[in-house]
């Protein structure tokens, strides 16, 4: 009951944080940085390297299909974790609200913090909503910590960490700052995954104790009662996930893998769309995939909403080896046009309707 009251008391703050008007800042930042980089990089002669054919339209369409596959994987996972308690429409709204919040908040914060609120308003109890969000986070991190070393072993090259025009293949790992950056990020993700695993499968009471210990800090002490209640709810709900059949975990991980893999393949399809299928071989495709895993770590530290501006710059520099000089910014904008801006538009439509349904009409 306390958790419900807590969510109710904070509804105004949460609704304020997801108001559609907040899309102005990420769009403004993204367009400003893109415009500046285009101004510095633009060279009319590079237009001859672009090819717009029926094949281009096909691969550009496939890039949007990849995003649809990604969202479908997320929807399948949420329905699985909630025992199909949510309809497909409710699941779609939850995912779009989640993505919209991620798009308008700094990457380091993301939409996870309010995902519990969205699930609760769709009829999922607070404790179960907390566990569902934690399990989705666990599956996301598990995909990363498994895939990243596999990609590095498969590629067998260090230029996965090359940045800008510098190629560092053969450079000792201790001299490659981007390898060290990725390695530290990997260790952080691994530690987080182990912590979540410990709380969900071994000792949820221990995780609750850790939460209460953390919430003794003066800056967040006022939320300690809510942390205590959420910890209690998590203990009861984690029992179900602890005893989940292996096949359910396998389904959840497969849905997660489909979602993330589809997201990372967007860049590959865009390169095929603009520069033709002859530009890349299979090894290049795998290398681009691996580079995006490294990019993802970098984007996590971005202070801008949804990584706006920072993402375009990282994309341009990190994938410069695979796209003709002078086209990096345009490609980065196309990438964000497919993978980021649609969530701002969809969210601006879904949020008002969702608010009317759950607040105004009631």
Question: Range with the lowest mean pLDDT among 5-19, 22-36, 153-167, 325-339?
Answer: 5-19
- 66 or 159: which carries more pLDDT confidence? 66
What's the domain count of the chain? 1
3-class secondary structure per residue, the chain: CHHHHHHHHCHHHHHHHCCHHHHHHHHHHHHHHHHHHHHHHCCHHHHHHCCCCHHHHHHHHHHHHHHHHHHHHHHHHHHHHCCCCCCHHHHHHHHHHHHHHHHHCECCCCCHHHHHHHHHHCCCCHHHHHHHHHHHHHHHHHHHHHHHHHHHHHHCCCHHHCCCCCCCCCCCHHHCHHHHHHHHHHHHHHHHHHHHHHHHHHCHHHHHHHHHHHCCCHHHHHHHHHHHHHHHHHHHHHHHHHCCCHHHHHHHHHHHHHHHHHHHHHHHHHHHHHHCHHHCCHHHHHHHHHHHHHHHHHHCCCCCECCCCHHHHHHHHHCHHHCCCCCHHHHHHHHHHHHCHHHHHHHHHHHHHHHHHHHHCC
Question: Range with the lowest mean pLDDT among 55-59, 70-74, 142-146, 254-258?
Answer: 55-59
Assigned domain for 167 exists: yes
Assigned domain for 102 exists: yes
Looking at residues 285-303, what average pLDDT do you find? Answer: 77
DSSP class of residue 20 equals G
- Residue 9 clears pLDDT 50, i.e. is over it: no
What pLDDT is recorded for position 73? 95
Assigned domain for 49 exists: no
Mean pLDDT of the chain: 76
- 303 or 337: which carries more pLDDT confidence? 337
Looking at residues 326-340, what average pLDDT do you find? Answer: 78
Range of the domain at 153: 66-348
Assigned domain for 29 exists: no
| pLDDT band (50, 70, 90) for residue 201 | confident
What pLDDT is recorded for position 8? 46
Specify the pTM. 0.80
Query: Residue 27 corresponds to which tokens in the numbers above?
Result: 């769009």
> For residue 334, how many C-alpha atoms fall within 13 Å in the half-sphere facing its CB?
23
Nearest of 233, 137, 115, 252 to residue 192 by alpha carbon: 137
- Residue 252 clears pLDDT 60, i.e. is over it: yes
d(CA 148, CA 161): 12
Assigned domain for 57 exists: no
What pLDDT is recorded for position 220? 65
Assigned domain for 7 exists: no
Percent of the chain with pLDDT over 90: 15
What pLDDT is recorded for position 18? 61
What pLDDT is recorded for position 200? 78
What pLDDT is recorded for position 35? 67
| pLDDT band (50, 70, 90) for residue 69 | very high
What pLDDT is recorded for position 286? 84
Residue with tokens 């399990």: 135
What pLDDT is recorded for position 189? 86
- Residue 57 clears pLDDT 90, i.e. is over it: no
- 94 or 104: which carries more pLDDT confidence? 94
- Residue 1 clears pLDDT 70, i.e. is over it: no
């Amino acid at each position: 009951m306390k958790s419900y009251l807590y969510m109710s008391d904070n509804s105004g703050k949460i609704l304020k944080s997801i108001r559609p008007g907040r899309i102005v800042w990420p769009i403004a930042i993204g367009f400003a940085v893109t415009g500046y980089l285009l101004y510095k990089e633009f060279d009319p002669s590079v237009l001859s390297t672009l090819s717009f054919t029926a094949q281009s339209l096909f691969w550009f369409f496939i890039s949007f299909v990849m995003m649809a596959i990604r969202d479908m994987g997320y929807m399948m996972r949420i329905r699985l974790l909630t025992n199909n308690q949510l309809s497909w429409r409710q699941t779609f709204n939850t995912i779009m609200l989640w993505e919209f919040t991620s798009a308008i908040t700094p990457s380091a914060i993301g939409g996870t913090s309010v995902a519990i609120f969205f699930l609760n308003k769709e009829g999922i109890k607070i404790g179960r909503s907390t566990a569902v969000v934690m399990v989705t986070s666990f599956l996301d991190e598990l995909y990363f910590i498994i895939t990243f070393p596999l990609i590095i072993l498969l590629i067998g090259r260090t230029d996965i960490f090359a940045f800008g025009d510098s190629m560092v293949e053969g450079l000792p790992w201790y001299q490659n700052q981007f390898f060290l950056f990725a390695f530290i990020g990997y260790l952080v993700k691994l530690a987080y995954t182990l912590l979540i695993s410990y709380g969900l499968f071994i000792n949820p009471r221990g995780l609750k104790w850790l939460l209460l210990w953390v919430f003794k800090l003066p800056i967040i002490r006022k939320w300690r009662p809510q942390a205590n209640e959420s910890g209690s709810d998590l203990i009861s709900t984690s029992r179900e996930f602890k005893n989940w059949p292996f096949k359910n975990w396998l389904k959840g991980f497969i849905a997660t893998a489909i979602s993330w893999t589809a997201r990372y393949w967007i860049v590959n399809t865009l390169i095929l769309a603009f520069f033709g299928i002859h530009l890349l071989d299979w090894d290049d495709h795998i290398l681009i995939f691996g580079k995006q895993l490294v990019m993802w770590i970098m984007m996590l530290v971005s202070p801008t909403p949804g990584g706006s501006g920072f993402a375009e710059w990282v994309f341009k520099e990190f994938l410069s080896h695979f796209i003709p000089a002078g086209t990096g910014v345009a490609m980065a904008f196309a990438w964000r046009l497919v993978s980021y801006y649609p969530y701002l538009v969809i969210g601006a439509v879904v949020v008002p309707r969702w608010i009317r349904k759950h607040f105004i009409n009631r």
